[in-house]
Structure 1
């Protein structure tokens, strides 16, 4: 078997459905399997997978085992030569896995490969490529300066060696995954990807950023950045430093104060919802009663040649290829007051997210 796609899910049922729909399309011509590990989601995720994707391997955990342990759990039963660790709030194009496997098989001594990630509005996510977070770099990030944290010397659409990739999309051979021991289960959430990339580098392999392939990572839906996030993130980074670098008391003290003070001075602000003036349904199939569910005038197109400001673009995933949708959204980062949504016919809802700090919007359509 060529590929095992491992998707760890917790409580993002509707984004998971969109993700699985795109991944299923992307592996159609490959000898591949999809494994979903659910960490005791209370939102009906498992029932949805069983009903809509009966051929997908589903692991149902009775408790939240965390990112590292649950992914290792799936990797143990994976049959593919390659494994792809994928977040549940992602969307891939039909050619995604075919393209990255072709490239990966041509590279000698490849460690981990990652791709270009963008949010639901087409904005590039800089965490797609990162530098080794030394104590100095991480301390600067804690103070709000992330310039050295990200690998900004690498252009977002290029292909280049990089130190650290992001756990939302990581491709590597299963044999290498096993050789380095998979994700370190001392990490519950955050920094596991940093640790794995660092260990792969130390084992003599090279990590590659493959910027020619874009994947949507809604991001905000699976990660809410509040005081709990800060505590988990920097707590995990402390585990990383204690494991790989000498103990730094100054950094430990800074983290202790940072976790407590940052939420006070940088309180989470409710994002203002984008209000567009019109909606465009991109579909070659007519949808009954869609206009009745919208607050703005609706038009329909089978294809899009150009994009306009102040518009909501709704893509029917049953009639428009995901690779075409991703290309369109990639162009949309320059638009003003516009957004993008995916229409899921089998469950009759529209879903999307306007930026990486947005939990996402779901519109359940009335018959």
Structure 2
């Protein structure tokens, strides 16, 4: 098997169906399998997906929803491909995207992971598809929405072209095309992260192990990000800031002074509480 495509479904029948169909409607020079993990959906999306796709898709039903990382890992443990692709259930794969990146990975054996140009529904770039690793400085500019031309404000790599191919630090978990040998070396997704942050953590470990991470801007994916309600669930807000805490503690706290760590943890806590409070006053669509 050349490629294993891993998709986590949670009560998104139509979105997941469209994502899978965007893969199936194209022909490829390589063999592939599609694995769908249902994260204990409370609706009938799993049964409907099984009825729609039958044996074309390998389904795994989780007894409990233990998060995005844990869901993906269930499929990664049984995936047979030389490469694996983590793919969000709210994406549409463009023609030739998988083919182009597969061929690139075949030619560049020092690349551990590769992403593509991810576009939002309105055609704008999803900036999460090409990033620097978060640190105290660039996180400060980003979290407090402070515009700056400082070299420290480099998280989203806005200075680099969207349609070219080059090495970066971090991809988005919506589309991560990885070498299976790389995952065997660095390990699977860290299940301490429930949602958010697991992609940054994995990219950090891949780079630390000496593999390159490539942004392949000549191929595209549509990410229907933000299609849900403007009023976020409190748990999602909490998990977003919790992921920041986990990542910082895991990769940076030991190399920083106590006072710096205290300020970072306090800042994350204050922002989380503020976001939860403001979310109470947002109206649903």
Give the TM-score normalised by structure 2: 0.89
| CA positional deviation for 1:34 | 0.3
Matches of 2:94 and 2:33, distance apart in 1: 17
Matches of 1:149 and 1:269, distance apart in 2: 30
Aligned equivalent of 1:66: 67
**Residue 142 in structure 1 maps to residue 143 in structure 2:** yes
| CA positional deviation for 1:41 | 1.1
Aligned equivalent of 1:215: 221
| CA positional deviation for 1:186 | 1.3
Report the secondary structure of 2:81's partner residue: coil
| CA positional deviation for 1:98 | 1.0
| CA positional deviation for 1:264 | 4.2
Task: Please list every run of 5 or more consecutive structure 1 residues that lacks an aligned counterpart in the other structure.
Answer: 272-367
Matches of 1:76 and 1:22, distance apart in 2: 24
Structure with larger RCO (C-alpha < 8 A, sep 6+): 2
Report the secondary structure of 1:11's partner residue: coil
1:251-292: CA deviation from partner (whole Å, max 9, x where unpaired)? 100111111123445764666xxxxxxxxxxxxxxxxxxxxx
Aligned equivalent of 1:345: none
Task: Please list every run of 5 or more consecutive structure 2 residues that lacks an aligned counterpart in the other structure.
Answer: 148-152, 255-260
Correspondence 1:1-367 to 2 at 5 A = 1-26=1-26, 29-54=29-54, 55-145=56-146, 147-221=153-227, 225=232, 227-246=234-253, 248-264=261-277, 268=282
| CA positional deviation for 1:238 | 0.8
Contact (CA 8 Å) 1:142, 1:255: kept in 2 or not?
Answer: no
Matches of 2:194 and 2:278, distance apart in 1: 27
| CA positional deviation for 1:9 | 1.1
| CA positional deviation for 1:226 | 5.2
Q: Which moved more, 1:43-52 or 1:122-131?
A: 43-52
Matches of 2:65 and 2:154, distance apart in 1: 33
Contact (CA 8 Å) 1:26, 1:96: kept in 2 or not?
Answer: no
Contact (CA 8 Å) 1:23, 1:92: kept in 2 or not?
Answer: yes
Matches of 1:60 and 1:104, distance apart in 2: 31
1:166-194: CA deviation from partner (whole Å, max 9, x where unpaired)? 00000111111121111011111110000
- Superposition RMSD in Å: 2.0
**CA 234–61 in structure 1, closer or farther in 2 if over 3 Å, else same:** same
Matches of 1:145 and 1:223, distance apart in 2: 26
Give the TM-score normalised by structure 1: 0.70
Q: How many residues align?
A: 271
Report the secondary structure of 2:25's partner residue: helix
| CA positional deviation for 1:163 | 0.4
Matches of 2:217 and 2:26, distance apart in 1: 18
Matches of 2:68 and 2:26, distance apart in 1: 24
Normalized per residue, which structure has more helix?
2
| CA positional deviation for 1:96 | 1.8
